[in-house]
Amino acid sequence: MIFKRIRQFFRALTARITPDDGKYLATHLNAEEQRLFFAMSTADQYHSLRTAYTIERLVIQDKQGIDREFLIRCALLHDIGRVKGDMGIFGKIFTVLVSELAPSLADRLELKGNHLMFVYRHHAEMSGRKLQQIGLFKEAKIVAKHHAKPTPDDPYELKLLRLADEAN
Ligand SMILES: [Fe+2]
Ligand SMILES: [Fe+2]
């Protein structure tokens, strides 16, 4: 887990959105959705694109009758609760380390109103709320739970999103 996070940080330092990525976004997101996407930091944009590319591969392998476009939207927009400037790279390292290594300190920081800790822990619900505001209710339901503890009756789409998110 922690090593995966460290790899993410290094990747985030070199993150870049290519013209092909731009085309991909224009194909799968409307203007309003793109506005939310581009409000994220470049590192999160990069992570969300990779999550979408992974989810596409999972869906192809799987061939069950699931809505591919719906899943791509969920992947591209799952972290929009985190906005550019909310958390720099060092803020992110700090919150991840504290959360993983000292969960009770993380609890205390959140209770004291630490903004970084709040965003880190609640961005999934915040993403869900933003999606509701633009009428994407079905997407909001899945996205709001992407960091919640898995339960046996989680929808299949949520499981795929978690898998793809974890891999990136
Ligand atoms: Fe997330
Ligand atoms: Fe994510």
Q: Provide the residue ranges of all domains of the chain, joining segments of one domain with +.
A: 2-14+26-166
CA of 61 relative to ligand 1 center, distance in Å: 24
Q: How confident is the model at residue 9 (pLDDT cuts 50, 70, 90)?
A: confident
Span of 33-37, 40-44, 83-87 with lowest mean pLDDT: 83-87
| CB-based neighbours (< 5 A) of ligand 2, an ion | 79, 165
Q: Which ligand is nearest to the CA of 146?
A: 1
Cα–chain center distance at 21: 17
* Mean pLDDT, range 3-13, rounded to an integer: 76
CA of 164 relative to ligand 2 center, distance in Å: 9
- Read off φ and ψ for residue 126, nearest 5 degrees: -65, -40
3-state class of 147 per DSSP?
coil
Exposed/middle/buried for residue 153 (C-beta within 10 Å: 0-12, 13-18, 19+)? exposed
* Mean pLDDT, range 63-86, rounded to an integer: 91
CA of 20 relative to ligand 1 center, distance in Å: 24
CA of 108 relative to ligand 2 center, distance in Å: 24
- The answer to whether domain 2-14+26-166 has CATH 2.40.10 is no
Q: Which ligand is nearest to the CA of 55?
A: 2
Q: Say whether pLDDT at 141 is over 90.
A: yes
CA of 113 relative to ligand 2 center, distance in Å: 23
Q: Which ligand is nearest to the CA of 124?
A: 1
> What average pLDDT does the chain have?
91
**Cα–Cα distance measured from residue 99 to residue 120, given in angstroms and rounded to the nearest whole number:** 9
- Helix, strand, coil shares of the chain, percent, nearest 5, are 70, 0, 30
* Mean pLDDT, range 67-91, rounded to an integer: 91
* Mean pLDDT, range 129-139, rounded to an integer: 98
Task: Give me the pLDDT at residue 121, please.
Answer: 87
Q: What is the pTM of this model?
A: 0.89
What are the tens digits of pLDDT across the range 89-126? Answer: 788 888 888 988 998 999 999 889 888 888 888 999 99
